[in-house]
Amino acid sequence: MLRFENKRVLITGSASGIGKAITRSFAEEGATMALADVNLAGIQTVIKELGKTKGQIFGYELDVTKEAQVAQVVEKAIADMDGIDILVNDAGVSTMQYSWKITEEEWDHVMDVNAKGNWLVSKHVIPHLIEKKQGKIVNVASMGGLMGAPLLAHYCASKFAVVGITESIAKELAPYGINVNAVCPGYVNTSMQNREVVWEAQLRGIADPEEVRREYVKLTPMGRLSVPEDIAGLVLFLASEDARFITGTSVRVSGGQ
């Protein structure tokens, strides 16, 4: 039997990058999934790419910063899948700028998606998990949630918030048999990173953005950037019964960074 056959999973930010890899991994393990992303066309593309899977797949457009929309999508996912067993909060954004040049609009956007969005989706799923007295929540944080980084004050603040939310909610939900953990990726080779190396090169006056990426590799003791599948493997472990006595933990998956 596949690990997640007959398990129902809601995944935010599932149209690309780490979220897409997590989605693919759950599909391979037989899960029924509700995929949510602000990019509905991207979700539809993912579903088409996956083709026929063991479990059913549903797709929804979702802006995680809008509570009414979050409530509606969670309710629809519960109805379509006849419940939720696992929530993966992956929706996230980034920009780069020196702290004294970050605009209020930038700050609010990054904090709203990464921190507020994480809380809002959890808020509307948790009562359902409490009613069942079981479930798993896995939040995608960042190494930027464990240490500060130049040009990323707002992003790091939002991911520190995710780590804090994870630890707090884990303590609240432990009496109900619900596990809540976070994963903290380091440098991941995604479209988001492709944008970031260009931004960082421009801000630091580096002519070749690939020089920035080479610096990322040098900062990673295992000598390579991670790929989204590296993160997905840890997410699935934390969502599985093998991690049944792990809660309130933020696990680095960073090649030693």
3-state secondary structure of 39: coil
Taking the C-alpha atoms of residue 25 and residue 185, their distance in angstroms, rounded to an integer, is 17
Taking the CA atoms of residue 249, residue 8, residue 161 and residue 104 in that order, the dihedral angle to the nearest 10 degrees is 160
Distance CA 22, CA 39 (A): 16
- Name the active-site residue from 60, 155, 187, 216: 155
Q: Where do we find the tokens 């006056």?
A: 205
Contact predicate 146/182, CB 8 Å: no
Which residue has tokens 């610096």? 215
Phi and psi at 223, nearest 5°, equal: 80, 20
Active site residue 60: no
| Distances in whole angstroms, Cα of residue 198 to Cα of each of 144, 204, 209 | 19, 10, 5
Identity of the amino acid at 252:
R
Q: Which residues are catalytic?
A: 155
